[in-house]
Each structure stands twice: as C-alpha cells, then as structure tokens.
Amino acid sequence: MTVLQRIAVEIPLSRESRACRALVEQAEQLALADVDEPLHISALCRALTVSERTLRKAFHKMRGIPPCRHFRMLRLSAARDALLTADRKLVTVTEIATSFGFVELGRFSVEYRRVFGETPSQTMHHAPPRRIFTVSGAVQDSVAFGV
C-alpha cells in the first residue's frame, strides 16, 4: 500500500465526498458497460438521474478532470491494450478503434499519438505476433503464444 493510499484510508471521507465517489463509480461502470458505443454525457446523466453540473462537479472533486476527458482516457487505454495484444493479421486499427466507441478515426489517431507518443498502427506493429490456439476447428480461447 502506498503512502497516499494509507492516508486516504486513515482520513474519513465526508458525506459529500462519499456521495461524489459513489456517483463517479456508478458513472464509470455505466460508461464502460457499452464501450463500443459513442459516449453521451447527457444520456449518462439521465441514467444516473443527476444533472450534468452535478456529474461534472463530482468528477472534478474525485478525479480532477471532466467526465468526458476521464472516459476518453479510459477508452484510449483500453484501445491501446487491445492494439498491443491484437493479431494484426486478423484485426485492423479501425476495427479496434470503433469497438471502443471512437467513430472519428482522425481524432482518435491524433489524440492517441498525443497521449502515447506513437500512432495506433505503430503500437500494433510493435506488438509481438500472436497465434490463436484452436480446438476442434473453433476458437475456444484466445490464448496468445509469442512467435
């Protein structure tokens, strides 16, 4: 446990902070439940029955950034993980990007490069080649073996 984690455990949260944390956690769960769809904060707020202002204030208090930015970073990180583990013979960068709700591929590429210092296709090409283990002619598990 890090020093910051110990401090966080030792300092009791106020009722307001607990409410903010619960709201942020619920929002994260809902936002990441359907990563293949574009995220709309207004729809998320309706599902949580809170105003956009309330959600933004909770995110600023708990994460220090707006909810849209936080969710975009979570999705970018998930896309990077997928690019690093993808079999480039079976899947494209476009398929991975759209599977995480990025429909504007140019923006995805620009933001990805700004955050990770390389393009999505560079990430995919740096990943070691993978083989898919098949059983009885059907893919049972996506067990990756380095070549």
46-81 pLDDT per residue, tens: 999 999 999 999 999 999 999 999 998 989 999 999
Would you state the structure tokens that stand for residue 56, as one six-digit string? 């933004």
**Within a domain: residue 145?**
no
**Within a domain: residue 94?**
yes
| Number of folded domains that form the chain | 1
- Reported as a pLDDT band with limits 50, 70 and 90, residue 31 is confident
Q: Higher model confidence: residue 14 or residue 77?
A: 77
**Within a domain: residue 115?**
yes
Whole-model pTM: value is 0.68
For 32-43, the three-class secondary structure string (H helix, E strand, C coil) is HHCCCCCCCHHH
**Within a domain: residue 1?**
no
Region 104-126 average pLDDT: 94
**Within a domain: residue 47?**
yes
**Within a domain: residue 147?**
no
CB 76 within 8 A of CB 112: yes
The CATH number of the domain holding residue 73 is 1.10.10.60
